Amino acid sequence: MFRGQDQTLRERIDLHLNEAPTLKTPVLIAGLPDSGRVAKIVLDQLVKTLKATPLGYLYSDYLPPRLLLKPDGTADLMKHEIFYWINKDSGPDLVLYTGDAQPILPEGAFRLSEAVVKLAEKLGVETVVTVGAFITGKIAEHPQVYGAASELVLVKELEELGVKIIDSGAVTWMNGLIPGLAKVRNLKGLFLSGETSGFMIDPRAAMIILRVLVRKLGLQIDMTELEGQAKEIETALKQSGDKDSDSAGSSEYIG
């Protein structure tokens, strides 16, 4: 096992990596907790259903100063985790990056995003995808996936997948910085976001992002559990009569 700090990542990032296998045209998919926990749900679902193998983790004082208490009584500092998955078919292998929280300061968002992109380069990744929430402030009956990319050819690919292109605004924190820094280092970068109200944990938004990833990367993912959770949300909304509510306005936020 490799343990230690890359001098270029500063001492404030403590990275622990297992020996990585040779990966076939790997694609990195990253997502850190955001509104509705959309990104975290997507990554947790990928790790779980693909039975991805742990590659490593990192601790950092850029993360919130909290000790997480677990159901079995143990405790751990907040951390980010890295997994990999070997595709036995013709598609790309995957590197999956997620964690307990976003960094608390802009400097931390930049430094941790730099660490992710440098790790991607070391693993031979050429395409980086991040996922997140497209917050509208209201509940959509038929939520859509919105996206952006580092180059026009990728924008066209997203459009062909039915993704609505984001042509203004900004994507915040690591879910935006990772593909941005990837472009600076001549990697391909994409961002996919699921439409959500921002009021609640939203498995529906995560599910529609996963459907796009399945089509783009040729994955086989069991989404039965997630679809069940999405239906529960829809049922609750119908019963409460909130589906058509727009009382919170329609301002958009991406992250």
pLDDT score at 250: 53
pLDDT of 248 > 50? The answer is no
pTM beyond 0.75, yes or no: yes
- Each residue of 192-209: pLDDT tens digit? 999 998 888 999 999 999
Cα 42 from chain centroid (whole Å): 6
CB count in 10 Å sphere of residue 120: 24
Q: What is the CATH number of the domain that holds 146?
A: 3.40.50.10900
Q: 176 vs 169, 243, 254, CA distance in Å?
A: 11, 29, 9
What amino acid occupies position 195? E
Write out the residue range of the structural domain in which residue 153 sits. Answer: 2-254
Rounded CA-CA distance 242/143 in Å is: 15
Burial of 243 (0-12, 13-18, 19+ CB in 10 A): middle
- Each residue of 9-67: pLDDT tens digit? 446 899 999 998 899 999 999 999 988 899 999 999 999 999 999 999 999 999 999 99
Place of tokens 């439409």: 195
Cα 27 from chain centroid (whole Å): 13
DSSP result, 148-162: EESSHHHHHHHHHTT
pLDDT score at 140: 86
In sequence order, the 6+-apart residues with CB closer than 8 A to the CB of 136 are: 195, 196, 197, 198, 250, 251, 252
| Number of domains observed in the structure of the chain | 1
Q: Is 54 helix (H, G, I), strand (E, B) or coil?
A: strand
